[in-house]
Every structure is written in C-alpha cells, then in structure tokens.
A and B are shown apart, each in its own frame.
Chain A
Amino acid sequence: MAGSKNILFIEDDRPISEMYARVLPKDMYKMDFAYDGAEGLQKSRSKHYDLIILDIMMPEMSGIQVLHELRGEDGQGSPDTKILILTNLAQDKTSREALKAQADGYIIKADIVPSQLAQIIDSLLK
C-alpha cells in the first residue's frame, strides 16, 4: 500500500511493545523498535517517522528527555512526526501542561487495551 506509515516504538518493556505491534495492521504501518531512550533518539534521527510512541520511564534516557531533544526548545522540532506518550506514569497538572506543548497525546497504558490504541493510532495517522 502506497500510504504505509512509519512508526517507532520507544519502549523498554519488550513484551509490551510486541503486544501493541501485534494489533497494528502490517500492511498499513511499518514498525521499528527501540528499547531505551538513547537508542530511540538515535533511531528517530536515522529516518523519518510519522509517529513515535514513547514510554517515559526508561533506562539511559527518559522519554521526557527524548521528547525535548526531538521537539527542541521552541517545541517546533520534527513537525512532521507525531509523538504519542504511552506510559503507566500518571501525570499531574504541571507535567500535563508542559507536555501539551510538545506531545500529541498522553495515554495511560493500564487504562487502554491494544484495540483502543490501534484506534487512537489510526485517528492520528489517517
């Protein structure tokens, strides 16, 4: 399919990212995986991604740092890449305000099932 989109999963919990990847149609999305923040940042710069799914608590470099690196000071970096935070870390009001400027969405892992994530990804990349 011509409209195949590139997705990068940056998630240190391998079974979790594999689980989510499983529900995403392979013919629509081309998926890459990174298992810590530093690796994720490096991969994100090696090729264009339409969507980066980003965990927060990770070794080497946290998801928040990766987000700041990608979006830059002004929050305008990588404008063609959507960034969806997928974490089990509940956010407070302050971090929500801060993340709103740079991320396109914030999802609590435990509160959704893979099919719901597929719908969200679908709506972001349609």
Chain B
Amino acid sequence: MQSSSRFKRQTLALFFIVSMVPALLVAAIWYWLTQVSPSAMLEVDFSHLVLPVFLLGLLPAIVLSFIFAELLARPVRDIHKAVSQLAAGNFVPPSVNTSRGEFKEINAALTEVALHLQDVISAASSETALIEAERNKLRIVLNSMSDGVFALDRDGRIILFNKAATQLTGRAITEVAGQLAEKVMPFRQNGELVMTRWLATHSGTPDKLGQWRNLELYHSDGSSLFVNVDAIKLDGDPNGISALVTFHDLTRDHQLEEMKVDFVALAAHELRTPLTEIKGYLDIMQHESKSLRKSDRDLLDRSVASAAELSGLMNNLLNVARIEHGELNYSPEVIDYNEYLKNLAPTFKAQLASKGLAFTINVPAHLPLMMADVVGVHEVLRNLLSNAANHTPSGGSVILNVRADRGFIETTVTDDGCGIPANAVGRLFTKFYRVSEFKSTTRGTGLGLFICRSIVDAHGGHIWVESTEGKGSTFGFTLPLSNIAPTATKGDNSISITRGTHGWIKEHSIHRG
C-alpha cells in the first residue's frame, strides 16, 4: 500500500505542478496587462488583484489534480492489491475499478493469471495430499510388518529402516540412516559377509533376487540373531533405492531347533550304553545257544534285527547333532568301492531277506577308486537300503547299481515299493521331514535322508530321487573318484589302516601267521 500511496502523492504533485502552469500563465498575463497599459485599458489599478487571480486559477487546478490523481491511482492501487494478494498466495481475481482500456486489459490478464494459478495450485495440492497419503500408507505398512525392512541407496547406505528392523536389531533409525549397510547390518554366514558380495556381484543388474537362509546378525546388545534374508535390486527407482532388503527373525526357531538337537544327542548318547549291552548279550545268545528251539531262535533273530534298527536310528540322531554343530568331520580316503560293497553285501542282503526282499548288486568289475569317508558312505547306503526295505512290501526287490560317470561314482538304489507322493519329493531331504502318508505305516525319525544329503554334499557329490507313486523309487548319489591310480594304493603307506564302519585297526598290528 505504501508504494501505491507514494504513486498517488507523486501523481498529485505532478498534476499540481502541471495545473500550476495555466494558473501562473493567467496570473502573468493579468500582471502584464496591468503593467503595459494600465491607464489605457482601465482606470482602475488591478495590480493588487494578481495574487487573488492566481489563487483563483490555482483552485480548479488543485481540485482537478486531486480528481485525476485519484482516477489514475485507484486502478494502480487495485492492481497492486491484486498482485500483493497473488504474491501472498491468495489467488482471487482482482477487482480493478476502472474504465480505462489499459487497466481493463491488465485486470483481465491478472484475472486469468489468478484463475490459472488457482487451478495449478489446487491440482498440485491435491497431488501432494495424495503423495502424502501414499507415503503414510507405506509407512504404516512398513512399520506394522513383523519382518525387518530396509532400503539402500546406490552406495549401499541405508535410507529406510522400518520399526521391526529397529526392534529386531536394537538399532534406531537415527543410528543407521546414511550408514553403510555392511557396517550396521552385517549379515554373516559362517563368518562371511554375504550381502556385501551380493551387492557387489550384481551391481547394475536390476531385479536380481537374493535369498539367504539362517544368516547371523548381531543385536546391538551383542546377542546373536538368526534370520532369513530376501533382497531385491532395483534399477532406476525414483526414490533412489537401489536395493530393498527384508529379513525374517528365526532366532526362536533356531534356539528351539538347537535345544531339540542337543536333547536328542544327549538322549541318544545315554541310550547307547544300554543298547550296546542289549546288542551284546543278544549276540552272545546267538553264539552260545546252539540248542535253541526254532521258535526261540526266531524270537532271538527278531530281537537282533530290532536292536540293529534301534542302533541305526540312534546313529542318525547323533549324526544330525554332529551335522548341526559342524562336528561331523569326514576324512575322505581311497576306497576300492567294488571290494567295499563285496564286504558289505552279505549284511545288507541278510537285512533285506529278513523282510522278504530280494537284493541284487550290479557293480562293474573294473571300477575306478573312490575318494570318500568310509563311515559316511556306509551311512548313506545303510539309510537308503533301510528306506527301500521299509517301503517295499514282502516279495519285492531292491537293486543297487553302480557306475563311474564323469569323475564320480554313481550309486542308485531302486525298489519296486510304494513310491513317494509327488508333493513330498521336494522336502524329502530336509530334516525331521516325514511323508505324512507313511507316518502310520513305517517307523522313522525323518533324519535319514537329511543325513545322506549332508554326507554327499560334504563330499561334493549330489543326491536325488526319482519316484512314481505305487511303482517304486530310485535314490541315487554320486561320490568323487580318487585321482590315485588303482595300482599305487596297496603297500605304499608305512602305516596302513584297516578302517571299517565301526573304527580302525592298524594293519601292521595284526599278526600274520
């Protein structure tokens, strides 16, 4: 308003000065007339009326000045007011009171600007509200999730961290924001940082999914967390997110699992001693009681078979505990697999025969040597044959085929039993998994195939199953060949060891003759 009143003052001054010109002119002419020929024209001396005449001339000038100044200043004032309103963010059309064309045009233009701005602003504000609402929705979703979520920018720095992530890790968003993820969220597997490598390996490749199971992370209080992690890489995200990471807390599951395994190991170990005695005395009975009646002999044989089965189950329980604790150390050595199977065949054959099953072994005569842990190989064979025996009705057959194939020896165990439902195949090799259809009909811990897989994996081989429900199953596994030539193995070691499935005896400790 100041500037418009200044404008008015200036206009007023201008008009006043301009209006003073005719007043002065009239006064000057009057004065000149009185001076040039006072007597000729008039007898009266009018010279003393110069000032009143001047003032009289000035009066309309002043009045006109005011009127003109006001006429000019009002629209300017209105325009100023309108522009000020616009500047203040109040987009109302101006009401400039004027009949002058230029001001009308300005008024129209200003009205248009105001209306346009009104449209733009209302559109923008509804968009902002929408974005704000979406952001709120996203925030609510992220914060109500029980899984931890965080996002990384291109440099691997954290730019988003949800509530669950804070609760699970004990780290506030303020601590982690802008920090490198590998520093504040160091997911580890066997002590190795996995995310960092993944981010580095797949840099520039969008939409790459990363999934890890059972990674370790430290809570801010120093305790360990076990989590499953899913991550996805984004490319060209408008918010600058280059990776989104979700982690699911498994610590409790992990602890329960650990307790289960520990308990099982303890129980199995404690049960081993009495079982050793049961097996021992049954064995003594079998050897000492030559004069048993056939029916008693049958009972004894059944007891021996059951004790052997129990022993196998407990070995599985102990092995799982060792696998879980990383204590199952395999010591691969050169094995003449042909010879090895020849030695084991009678035991396996007898076990399958007791269930009314025929057993055939097909091993090529010239088989390369194998590099594997003797006890491990026995565990795999024992489990696969025991499964075949348990799921094949009496009168069926079990065939063990062996062949060398591209650096590995492949062993398959085929039965013509009940087969496995297709939906169970995928989970067959996982721990404690039992095919629900078999739970009522066969005994088992759901550990055998898990152990088999662990053993085969540890050797760098692989294990698989092919099965048709109602027709039978084939389980196969590969174990690596030895790179030692068959002839070089015998008599080379100064201390050679006879290693069986139950331990070892030094070769040179055995007296010959």
Tell me, yes or no, whether A binds B: yes
Mark A residues whose CB is within 8 Å of B.
Answer: 13, 15-16, 19-20, 22-23, 82, 84, 88, 90, 92-94, 96, 100, 103-116, 120, 123-126
A sample of 26 inter-chain contacts (CB < 8 A) reads A16-B273, A19-B280, A90-B318, A103-B506, A106-B503, A107-B502, A108-B502, A109-B276, A110-B276, A110-B279, A110-B314, A111-B501, A112-B502, A113-B279, A114-B280, A114-B284, A115-B283, A115-B284, A115-B286, A115-B287, A116-B502, A124-B510, A124-B511, A125-B511, A126-B510, A126-B511
Given A16-B276, A88-B272, A93-B329, CB of A107 within 8 Å of CB of B284: no
CA distance A113 to B318 in the complex (A): 19
Q: Contacts A15-B277, A113-B280, A123-B505 given; indicate if A23 touches B331 (C-beta within 8 A).
A: no
B497 close to A (CB within 8 Å): yes
The 4 closest A-B pairs by CB, nearest first: A111-B502, A113-B283, A104-B509, A107-B503
Q: How far is the CA of A114 from the CA of B279 in the complex (A)?
A: 9
Bound: A82/B286 CA distance, A? 29
CA distance A84 to B509 in the complex (A): 10
Which residues of chain A are near B510, meaning CB under 8 Å? 123-124, 126
- Residues of B near A124 (CB, < 8 A) are 505, 509-511
Question: Nearest B residue to A105 by beta-carbon distance?
Answer: B505
Closest to A19 in B: B280
Q: Complex Cα distance A53/B273, Å?
A: 17
State A126–B513 Cα separation when bound (angstroms).
Answer: 7
Distance in angstroms between the alpha carbons of A106 and B374 in the assembled complex: 14
Within 8 A of A (CB), among B482-513: 495, 497, 501-506, 509-513
Alpha-carbon gap, A112 to B315, bound state (A): 13
Binding site for A on B (CB under 8 A): 269, 272-273, 275-277, 279-284, 286-287, 311, 314-315, 318, 322, 327, 329, 331, 495, 497, 501-506, 509-513
**Closest chain B CB from A111 CB (angstroms):** 3
Provide the bound-state CA to CA distance between A125 and B509, in Å: 9
Q: Please tell me which one of the listed residues B273, B506, B513 contacts residue A100 in the complex, with CB atoms under 8 A apart.
A: B506
In the bound complex, residues from chain B placing their C-beta under 8 Å from that of A115 are 283-284, 286-287
Which residue of the partner chain, among B269, B280, B287, B497, contacts A88 with CB atoms under 8 Å? B269
Listed residue (B273, B318, B512) with the most chain A CB atoms within 10 angstroms of its CB:
B273
- Docked Cα-Cα span, A120 to B505, in Å, equals 8
Given contacts A110-B311, A125-B511, contact A19 B284 (CB under 8 A): yes
Residues of A within 8 A of B286 (CB): 115
Chain A residues with CB under 8 A of B279: 110, 113
What is the CA–CA distance of A106 and B331 in the complex, to the nearest angstrom?
15
Indicate whether A108 sits within 8 Å of B503 (C-beta atoms), given known contacts A96-B331, A113-B279. Answer: yes
With A13-B273, A93-B329, A100-B495 as known contacts, state yes or no: A82 contacts B509, CB within 8 Å. Answer: yes
For the complex, give the distance between the alpha carbons of A84 and B502 in Å. 13
Which B residues are CB-close (under 8 A) to A105? 503-506, 509
**Cross-chain contact B280 with A20 (CB below 8 angstroms):** yes
Q: Is the beta-carbon distance between A23 and B502 smaller than 8 angstroms?
A: no
Q: Please give the distance in Å from A59's CB to the nearest CB on chain B.
A: 15
Shortest beta-carbon distance from A83 to chain B in Å: 9
CB of B338 to closest CB in A, whole Å: 23
Most chain B CB inside 10 Å of its own CB: which residue of A82, A108, A116, A124:
A108
Apart from A92-B327, A109-B273, A115-B286, list 4 A-B contacts with CB within 8 A. A16-B277, A22-B284, A110-B276, A110-B311
Q: Given the complex, which residues of B lie within 8 Å of A93, measured CB to CB?
A: 329, 331
Nearest A residue (CB) for B512: A126
Distance A19 CA – B287 CA, assembled complex (angstroms): 13
With CB as the reference atom, state the residue of chain A lying closest to B497: A100
Question: What B residues does A100 contact at CB under 8 A?
Answer: 495, 497, 506
Contacts of A13 on B, CB cut-off 8 Å?
273
Contact of A104 with B506 at beta-carbon distance under 8 Å, contacts A16-B277, A93-B329, A110-B272 already known = yes
Contact A104 B277, beta carbon cutoff 8 Å? no
**Closest B residue, CB atoms, query A13:** B273
Distance of A17 from chain B, by nearest CB (Å):
11
A96 and B513 CA atoms in complex are apart in Å by 28
> Which of B272, B277, B505 has the largest number of chain A CB atoms within 10 A?
B505
Complex interface: chain B residues within 8 A of A120 (CB): 505
Give A119 Cβ to nearest chain B Cβ, in Å. 11
A57 to B161, CA, bound (A): 52
A80 CA / B505 CA spacing, docked (Å)? 16
